Structure 1
Amino acid sequence: MDIIKILQNELSLKKHQVENTIKLIDEGNTIPFIARYRKEVTGSLSDEVLRNLHERLVYLRNLESKKEQVITSIDEQGKLTPELKSKILNAQTITEVDDLYLPYRPKRRTRATIAQEKGLEPLALLIMQQDKKIEPLELANDYINNEKEVNTAEDALKGGQDIIAEIISEDADFRSYIRNITYNKGSIVTKAKDPETSTVFDMYYDYNEVIKTIPGHRVLAINRGENEKVLSVKIEAPADEIGLFLEKRIITTDYMPTVSVLKEVILDSYKRLIAPAIEREIRNMLTEKSEDGALVVFKQNLHQLLMQAPIPNHIVMGVDPAYRTGCKIAVVDGTGKKLDHTVVYPTPPQNKIEEAKKELKKLITDYNVDLIAIGNGTASRETERFIADMLKEINKPIQYVIVNEAGASVYSASKLATEEFPNDDVGVRSAVSIARRLQDPLAELVKIDPKSIGVGQYQHDMNQK
């Protein structure tokens, strides 16, 4: 496999760009370093192209390594043929290599291996040859062996069928066809485990969508519902079409007793061995693809959030709204340093509006506040109405802004916040964070775990690496 040529074609690059970039990566340089300081070497490749090249380089090298391991393993078993070696070397994906390796992979003890231990493999091969007009059950009579617990012809035939089922399930061409047709024509089906209980997953209680077109956010929602034991999920494939394909490829005789046995084996092989494996593969592939898409959304949203223009050199009052526990208030100077704090109760159930106005007016006067940042969480609307009414009573131009407070509570209880404000409770820390977010979003939000900022798509469920 010519990795350089593959990367050239996939990324539409020149040969020297690929070669030089690979050399820089192999020397231990990071992608940010190469993007910023080695433009003359890479031909000014962007950071995005460099990341894509690096990801594909790692994958293709892993593919090459996998091929070598598989060829070595099969060769050590004495089963490597020139044809098989050629197929492995020409495989374009790790999945293809895994399919080709499956019949030779060291196995755990299965029904087929148990049958092989009982000496029933010759019977299985004889049935698969389909060149004798003898009923399979009659052939099985020759393999009765009480010492090996093969007590009847039926026992022998059943063991032979188990071996054939595994042989069918390990055929790389069959698996490739079934994987493709399941993806293109199959559906993902969800049901509620308890239809009487209403949850946020109501729309998926009796849901069906084509695998090929299902959006990533639905895949992630279904995964979460399944993980929370609310939904049961399965893949429905065109089983009849798959069955006909397998029969056409496997059955070459018209001798009905043999045809009947092979049809039974094909059905068992598909339902018991192939379908569950293909379902896992497709579910994993959908999840990986959806997570990649979610990561792009998260990246775009986070960039917009962090790149908001700062509002420096303003005295800001941060308001963390609440009902029962009151609104936490913090005043910070133009550099974000906390000047004062308090708690007021203008919202239900206390409704101490006049007392709250008096307290806030005093803070505004004492510290010359000219901006108010209101968190957008619980009781935000009621707090906004209160602030708007209060500002009408002040003979000074003061503006208020609704600020996204996602992650403020996480920050307020973090070790960093404790070190910064050791003598303040979490409510005050949260109010300070809200005020600072208005002053300089980037400087404040970098303190928070990215998954807690609230701009992603099921980011809590994703692999955090």
Structure 2
Amino acid sequence: MSEQQSPELLKLVSQQTKLNEKSIKQVIDLLNEGNTVPFIARYRKELTGGLDEVQIKSIEDQWNYVKNVSERKEEVIRLIDEQGKLTDELRKEIEAATQLQKVEDLYRPYKQKRRTRATVAKEKGLEPLALQVWKQEEINVTQEAKTYFSEEHELESVDQVLGGVNDILAEWISDDPQYREQIRKQTFQKGTIASTDKNAEQDEKAIFEMYYDYQEPVGKIVSHRILALNRGEKEDVIKVSIQPPEESIVAFLEKKVILPSTKGQLRSLLTEAIQDSYKRLIQPSIEREIRNSLSESAEEQAIEVFSSNLRSLLLQPPLKGKVVLGIDPAYRTGCKLAAVDETGKVLDIGVMYPTAPRNDVKGAEKLLLSFMDRHPIELMAIGNGTASRETEQFVADMIQKHKLNASYMIVNEAGASVYSASKLARDEFPDFQVEERSAVSIARRVQDPLAELVKIDPKSIGVGQYQHDVSQKK
């Protein structure tokens, strides 16, 4: 077992995946040897205890996470130690952390920052006064502030001095890991995610209309709405924000920071510092963290939905040995027909107009019957896109009216249009129109779904939620 593959890390993975540590260790060893998840799931069942690919992928993801957390903890401990600020208590807190966010919260006060307002105030020598205010010592704040007047540092009034003190206090409050953890929890549990209209005129099809004035509790919003909000924001149609329970958060900070005995100017200074810290530093940061967390979770769920749907689509049983008539329904451009034999070879193509706007039912009837006369069609496959219901009704009526020795089924046509316009389709059917190629694809995917669907980019098959928006590497 490698140094990183410690019992502590294996235990964490076991807790997250609800799988036994022995199987987890075997999976990690196999992954470290360069084996892929599909290979392990199929050919190493005896080593993993029969884990499937979903469980193995879960182990891989959790292992990478706990390993990253462990490496980050080591790095944070080293960086703080180099500053000479690492205490035994802080080391224990960092070592006990199991979440990356917790590690970053603990490191935040020691992180080398860009030149902030607090940094400038400290450079002007105001940290000792800020410390006195922080400890809530019994001092005359105004008189103490006057002792810090300096032309060199452009401190020529009490307001300027106390403004610098406020900046230091605000940063101290913002950097406290316990405060941030509690505020993050309150915002998630009691906050609201809201969206408003920003450039509705750009939303010509009103795709995001429901989000022009929308609110929902942060803890209850579902993944597809998060992805919809993200897309609307990315397209500059809506503005998205998180509305936190500000009053209860400020009250929490006041209770933590201000002693009950503190009165007067000292209390006012600390109250102002708390409000400034929250509005200027904490709230924007926590909002980014929560939105990133929601987006990551939504992406993972979207990928799971897409994977599950795609798997079901690809593993549909083939319908061998039948002559099939593929029908790609449409209104204005008509329903494209493509008859294929048992091997998928195209026998005939055509177009009928049984639906609006032409409503040429007689012409459509004549064409369909001619197809049935010329070819031993046993099944009609109707795409489930535009005009599908009307086309289905027409086909059902024709079967009943003419006692046709054929049945029909509705076929998921996802990706057929993408395939029909692809180079592969053009090479296969150079003399066909795009719509005719689509009808062929619909017929063939009944005969052998896998053979037909592998011609299409998975993300274009359209069986998921916002699969174009999520990480394509995942």
Aligned partner of 2:38 in structure 1 is: 32
Aligned partner of 2:186 in structure 1 is: 181
Aligned partner of 2:149 in structure 1 is: 144
1:191 match: secondary structure: strand
1:194-209 to 2 correspondence within 5 Å?
199-209=206-216
After superposition, what is the alpha-carbon deviation per residue over 1:433-455, rounded to whole angstroms, capped at 9, x for unaligned? 11112222222223223333232
Check if 1:440 corresponds to 2:448.
yes
Check if 1:126 corresponds to 2:132.
yes
Q: Is the 8 A contact 1:120 1:160 kept in 2?
A: yes
Check if 1:160 corresponds to 2:165.
yes
1:147 match: secondary structure: coil
Aligned partner of 1:87 in structure 2 is: 93
Aligned partner of 2:248 in structure 1 is: 241
Relative to the length of structure 1, the TM-score reads: 0.92
Question: Residues 246 and 395 (structure 1 numbering): CA distance in 2 closer, same or farther, change over 3 Å?
Answer: closer
Question: Residues 126 and 4 (structure 1 numbering): CA distance in 2 closer, same or farther, change over 3 Å?
Answer: same
Question: Residues 194 and 110 (structure 1 numbering): CA distance in 2 closer, same or farther, change over 3 Å?
Answer: same
Q: Is the 8 A contact 1:406 1:452 kept in 2?
A: yes
Check if 1:65 corresponds to 2:75.
no
Q: Is the 8 A contact 1:133 1:255 kept in 2?
A: no
Q: Is the 8 A contact 1:347 1:379 kept in 2?
A: yes
1:335 match: secondary structure: coil
2:354 match: secondary structure: coil
Q: Distance in 1 between matches of 2:162 and 2:154?
A: 13
- CA apart distance, 1:356: 3.5
1:261-280 to 2 correspondence within 5 Å?
261-280=269-288
Aligned partner of 1:170 in structure 2 is: 175
- CA apart distance, 1:73: 1.7
The answer for unaligned runs of 5 or more in structure 1 is none
Question: Residues 10 and 193 (structure 1 numbering): CA distance in 2 closer, same or farther, change over 3 Å?
Answer: closer
Q: Is the 8 A contact 1:298 1:456 kept in 2?
A: yes
Q: Distance in 2 between matches of 1:392 and 1:24?
A: 59
Aligned partner of 2:227 in structure 1 is: 220
Quick check: 50-59 or 436-445, which moved more? Answer: 436-445
Match of 2:371 among 363, 371, 385: 363
Quick check: 168-177 or 216-225, which moved more? Answer: 216-225
Check if 1:293 corresponds to 2:331.
no
Aligned partner of 2:3 in structure 1 is: none
- CA apart distance, 1:74: 1.7
- CA apart distance, 1:413: 1.3
Aligned partner of 2:437 in structure 1 is: 429
1:331 match: secondary structure: strand
- CA apart distance, 1:272: 0.8
2:287 match: secondary structure: helix
- CA apart distance, 1:184: 1.6
Aligned partner of 1:454 in structure 2 is: 462
Question: Residues 234 and 90 (structure 1 numbering): CA distance in 2 closer, same or farther, change over 3 Å?
Answer: same
Quick check: 11-20 or 149-158, which moved more? Answer: 11-20
Q: Distance in 2 between matches of 1:238 and 1:389?
A: 60
2:152 match: secondary structure: helix
Question: Residues 437 and 244 (structure 1 numbering): CA distance in 2 closer, same or farther, change over 3 Å?
Answer: same
Q: Is the 8 A contact 1:24 1:34 kept in 2?
A: yes
Question: Residues 338 and 74 (structure 1 numbering): CA distance in 2 closer, same or farther, change over 3 Å?
Answer: same
Match of 2:385 among 354, 360, 377: 377
1:461 match: secondary structure: coil
- CA apart distance, 1:392: 4.7
Q: Distance in 2 between matches of 1:349 and 1:10?
A: 57
AA of the residue aligned to 1:356: A
Match of 1:283 among 291, 305, 316: 291
Match of 1:20 among 15, 26, 40: 26
Match of 1:319 among 309, 315, 327: 327
Q: Distance in 2 between matches of 1:254 and 1:349?
A: 79
Matched residue count: 464
Q: Is the 8 A contact 1:330 1:431 kept in 2?
A: yes
Quick check: 440-449 or 264-273, which moved more? Answer: 440-449
AA of the residue aligned to 2:86: L
AA of the residue aligned to 2:378: D
Quick check: 64-73 or 248-257, which moved more? Answer: 248-257
Q: Is the 8 A contact 1:314 1:333 kept in 2?
A: yes
Question: Residues 241 and 351 (structure 1 numbering): CA distance in 2 closer, same or farther, change over 3 Å?
Answer: closer
Match of 1:332 among 326, 333, 340: 340
Match of 1:3 among 3, 6, 9: 9
1:78 match: secondary structure: coil
- CA apart distance, 1:393: 5.7
Q: Is the 8 A contact 2:171 2:277 kept in 1?
A: yes
Q: CA RMSD in A?
A: 2.4
After superposition, what is the alpha-carbon deviation per residue over 1:243-293, rounded to whole angstroms, capped at 9, x for unaligned? 122112212352311110110000000011101111111112122222222
The answer for unaligned runs of 5 or more in structure 2 is 1-5
1:410 match: secondary structure: helix
- CA apart distance, 1:389: 4.0
Quick one: percent identity of the two aligned structures?
52
Question: Residues 247 and 322 (structure 1 numbering): CA distance in 2 closer, same or farther, change over 3 Å?
Answer: same
Q: Distance in 2 between matches of 1:101 and 1:377?
A: 54
Question: Residues 249 and 298 (structure 1 numbering): CA distance in 2 closer, same or farther, change over 3 Å?
Answer: same
Q: Distance in 1 between matches of 2:133 and 2:139?
A: 10
Q: Is the 8 A contact 2:12 2:66 kept in 1?
A: no
AA of the residue aligned to 2:103: V
After superposition, what is the alpha-carbon deviation per residue over 1:298-337, rounded to whole angstroms, capped at 9, x for unaligned? 3333333333332111111111122222222212111212
- CA apart distance, 1:107: 1.7
Q: Distance in 1 between matches of 2:461 and 2:320?
A: 22
AA of the residue aligned to 2:163: K
Q: Distance in 2 between matches of 1:73 and 1:43?
A: 41
- CA apart distance, 1:363: 2.9
Relative to the length of structure 2, the TM-score reads: 0.90
Aligned partner of 1:211 in structure 2 is: 218
Q: Is the 8 A contact 2:196 2:211 kept in 1?
A: yes
Q: Is the 8 A contact 2:302 2:465 kept in 1?
A: yes
Q: Distance in 2 between matches of 1:225 and 1:388?
A: 41
Q: Distance in 2 between matches of 1:462 and 1:444?
A: 25
